[in-house]
Amino acid sequence: MTKKVWFQSAVGILLLLLIIKYFLEIKHIFYPIVVLLSAIFTPLLIGGVLFYITEPLQKFLEKRKFPRWASILTILVLLIGIVAGFVSFIWPMISTQLNNFIQALPSLMNELSKGTRYIIEQRENLPSQVQDAIETAINSIKDYAILTSKFLVDVIATIVSWAFVLILIPFFFIYMLKDHEKFAPRIYGLFSGQRKEWVAKTLKEVNDVLKNYIQGQMLISLILATIMYIGYLIIGLEFALLLVIFAFFMNIIPFIGPWIAFIPALIIGLLNDPIQAFWVCVVTLVAQQTDSNFITPNVMGKTLDIHPLTVITIILAGGNIAGFLGILLGVPFYAVVKVIVKNIYERRIEIRQAATKEI
């Protein structure tokens, strides 16, 4: 009986639960380690994202006989140039729109309150199906508002601690650019034989999944933000740049992100002119259809091969567990775990088949 898969799985689950139970009872011992890891995690994460974004450029330069130090220096100069250009040209536009938005916020909130009251007052005079639709829409807007406000609180809290983060990011980023080929060998070098091959294969697949996901999502988000910005400028939507910057970060979140980005644009359009709200819907529809039919299939392909319902479940669970960070990291974390579990399963099948042949 002890060789049955269900028995081994049950024992494994019980051991895991016992480990978690004892860890929770002595968690105060590990508190300094948790604090240290949480302080390092954000700059390490941002450094890793920057590395995956710039890795294709580094490969391109080194194929053209650039030494490693020259490729790193070129990337750093380009990034500094991009930041300087952003501060010189784009930041003044953002600052102006942000000031205008803050000044207009009381008026916008007043108009939004009037519109909401009017809809609620008129709801009783409408058919039951329309009443149900309005109720659903109001609840959805409330949910999105709560979710968005939670995002903003998390983002603001993160920005406050960025002084420390900004110091560490360049160190992690440069270290990854310099020695990224050495990370995996240091890990699978601890093993030997078939285990070494399995660990090397798993690490390569994990790296490929993370690289394809980060590079793909950033490229998709940038293309979508560009399409939306052009559309918003054409229809004359106020605060277009602010809305597009918000949309850029939200579009990084699969499936749910674009709709979160759509809500504030729709509200601004409605408060300005219902016709403009219609055109906001058109711009969003064009951007989403372009993404679904052309951009994502060509950029991402079947990189993750995760069902949309699974993605939505992961995002919602990640948001409840770890807030904005959980929403951002839930899908890639799941993809990494999926690769590891798949390789463990395949390895067990290989071992079982080998044992059967020997018998």
Counting Cβ atoms within 10 Å, is residue 89 exposed (0-12), middle (13-18) or buried (19+)?
exposed
Q: Which residue's entry shows tokens 């839930």?
A: 330
Distances (CA, A) of 19 to 14, 24, 27, 234, 337: 9, 9, 12, 58, 20
Helix axes 193-235, 274-290, angle to 10 degrees: 150
* 267 Cβ contact partners less than 8 Å away, ≥ 6 residues apart: 108, 112
226 C-beta neighbours (distance < 10 Å), count: 13
CA–CA separation, 81 vs 83, rounded Å?
Answer: 5
pLDDT per position in the chain (359 positions), as tens? 555 555 555 666 667 667 766 666 665 666 666 666 667 887 888 899 999 999 999 999 999 989 999 999 999 999 999 889 888 887 787 778 778 777 777 776 776 677 666 666 665 665 665 556 656 665 665 555 555 555 555 555 555 556 667 778 888 999 999 998 888 889 888 888 888 888 899 999 999 999 988 988 899 899 999 999 999 999 998 888 889 999 998 888 877 888 888 888 988 888 888 899 899 999 999 998 888 888 777 776 666 677 777 888 888 888 777 777 788 888 888 888 888 888 888 888 887 877 776 65
Reference 284, options 298, 271, 300, 268; nearest CA is 268
Buried/exposed code over 228-260 (b: 16+ C-beta within 10 A; e: otherwise) = bbebbeebebbbbbbbbbbbbbbbbbbebbbeb
What is the distance between the alpha carbons of residues 319 and 330, in angstroms, rounded to a whole number?
Answer: 8
